[in-house]
Every structure is written in C-alpha cells, then in structure tokens.
Amino acid sequence: MIKNFLKYIKPKSKNKFFFIIEFFILILVNFIKLIIKKIFTLIPIRIYENLLPYSLNYYHFDKLKLIKIFKTREELWHSAIEKIGVEKKISFIEFGTFEGYSIKKFTELNKNPDSIFVGCDTFIGLPERWNKMPKGMWNVDGKLPIIDDKRVEFIKGKFQNTYSEIEKNINTKNELLFHFDADLYSATLFLLTKLDKFKEYYAIFDEFTGHESRAIYNYCQSYDADIEFYGKTIGYSNTPHRVFCKIKHKYK
Ligand SMILES: C[S@@+](CC[C@H](N)C(=O)[O-])C[C@H]1O[C@@H](n2cnc3c(N)ncnc32)[C@H](O)[C@@H]1O
C-alpha cells in the first residue's frame, strides 16, 4: 500500500533542498486526499442520491428558475391542457394512477371525444421502497378506478412488464402527453428510455425534485435529449415539485 502511495509522489524540483520540501508537501497533500476519499467512501450511496437533485436544480435545470409558478397541481394541469389545446386529440398516458384522481381530472380538462387516456399501474402499490414510503404503498388490491368515460383504459402491472402493451396505445398522430407519477427513479428512467423513440412529447412530472429529476438527468445525458420547461409548482423545500415540460431530441 505504501509502495503504491509513494509511486504517485513525483517531485519535479532540480534543487535538492526544494526537492525534499516538495516531496514532503506532496506526501501531505496526497495523504489528506486519501483520507477525504476514505471518508467519502463510507457515506452511503443513498445520501449522494438524495443530495444530487438539489445540485441538479441549481446547475443543470437552472432554466426552471425562470418559469411560471402555479399554486396547485390542478392549476398546472389546467395550464398544460390549455397549452396543448382543450379540443386537441391527445394520447394521455399516466404512469402511476393509484385511485384515478389525476387521470379523471385530465379527462375533464380535454374535450376531444377521440382522445385516449390510459392509466398504468401495478394497482398493488409501489414495487420497491421510495424514500420513507414502503414497498406496497398506494396498494388498491388490484382494483381499477371507476371513471365514467369511454376514452379511459387501464393497464395493470409493472411498467417494466407491460410496456409493449402500453406502447400500443401511443398514437403519434395525436398530441402526446405523459404523466410521470410513479415517483421512483427506476420506473421513471425505464420509461424515459423506452419513450425515447418518440421524437418529442409533453410531460408532467409529479415529484420532480428527487428520483424523477435524477432519472431525467441520466436519461438526457445518455440519449441527447433536451427539456423545455413551461410551468411548475413549488414544494416544501422551496424546490420545483410538479413540472410541466416538453422532452425533445437535440438532433433527431
Ligand atoms: C403517487 S401514486 C400515483 C397517484 C396518482 N397519479 C394520483 O395523483 O392520484 C404512485 C403510483 O405509482 C405506481 N408505480 C410505481 N412504480 C411502478 C411501476 N414500476 N410499475 C407500475 N406502477 C408503478 C404505484 O403503484 C403507485 O400507485
């Protein structure tokens, strides 16, 4: 270990005296670096993951600071449908439906009789723990929501297993609006990469600062996608909570 450590200590001074001084300074600096790295090694991954979204908001999603703030998520949803067009034929796919509150609201906002609304969920709750929420949170025992609207359908199961069925409902002749409300990094990143084949689409993220912003960041890095932000609500830590945006490819 010491041999390996000393391998990287390479003073450059020609003068013997300065060489020795430099040698000891390099030892000290490298030793401090080693200690810092050891400390960072001991910090659990979950701490880094929980902190990353705040840095992302500050550096990467800085355009979010400039967009309009809505008081409630219902107001944000309303503005989203107004921007897309109340009468526009849309394919609205919701990832995370639970008892159907949000999908029902969207059916009330969009008036086109040929629009498609699909609610996707395990309907037995979260497939894994999300922050303090345990696996199985939002379990409705497999029962589908009852919504009196012929345009609505539900797809039951984990997105990772039902995606091919979900994709059949995405009609690219319609305006596409995807509601990401699964909360989890794993589910959100999976969906973003699958949906990458659609050149651009409107999206609403329900828990932006957290798992979802991490997933968006990683997706954009790998797929050269870009985001245009339109509106947000603010959460308890004064960070973007619900976000309405458009996801598009830079070069497609
Ligand atoms: C916060 S709830 C959705 C709330 C709903 N949109 C509303 O506003 O009324 C999150 C839902 O995502 C679902 N979910 C999370 N990960 C999933 C996955 N990988 N596949 C299917 N459903 C998932 C959970 O079962 C849960 O019902």
| Nearest Cα residue to atom 14 of ligand 1 | 182
Beta bridge partners of 227: 247
Decide: 158 in ligand 1 pocket, CB within 6 A: yes
Mutate to test the pocket of ligand 1, among 126, 139, 144 (most ligand atoms within 8 A of CB): 126
126 touches 150 (CB < 8 A): no
Mutate to test the pocket of ligand 1, among 76, 106, 181, 189 (most ligand atoms within 8 A of CB): 181
Per-residue tens of pLDDT for the chain, all 252 residues: 777 778 788 888 888 999 899 989 999 999 999 999 999 999 999 999 999 999 999 999 999 999 999 999 999 999 999 999 999 999 999 999 999 999 999 999 999 999 999 999 999 999 999 999 999 999 999 999 999 999 999 999 999 999 999 999 999 999 999 999 999 999 999 999 999 999 899 999 999 999 999 999 999 999 989 999 999 999 988 999 999 999 998 776
Decide: 97 in ligand 1 pocket, CB within 6 A: yes
Q: What backbone phi and psi angles, to 5 degrees, belong to 62?
A: -65, -25
175 touches 147 (CB < 8 A): no
202 touches 175 (CB < 8 A): yes
Treating both helix axes as pointing N-terminal to C-terminal, what angle do 45-55 and 213-223 enclose, rounded to 10 degrees?
80
**Which of 111, 119, 95 minimizes the C-alpha distance to 187?**
95
3-class DSSP assignment, residue 7: helix
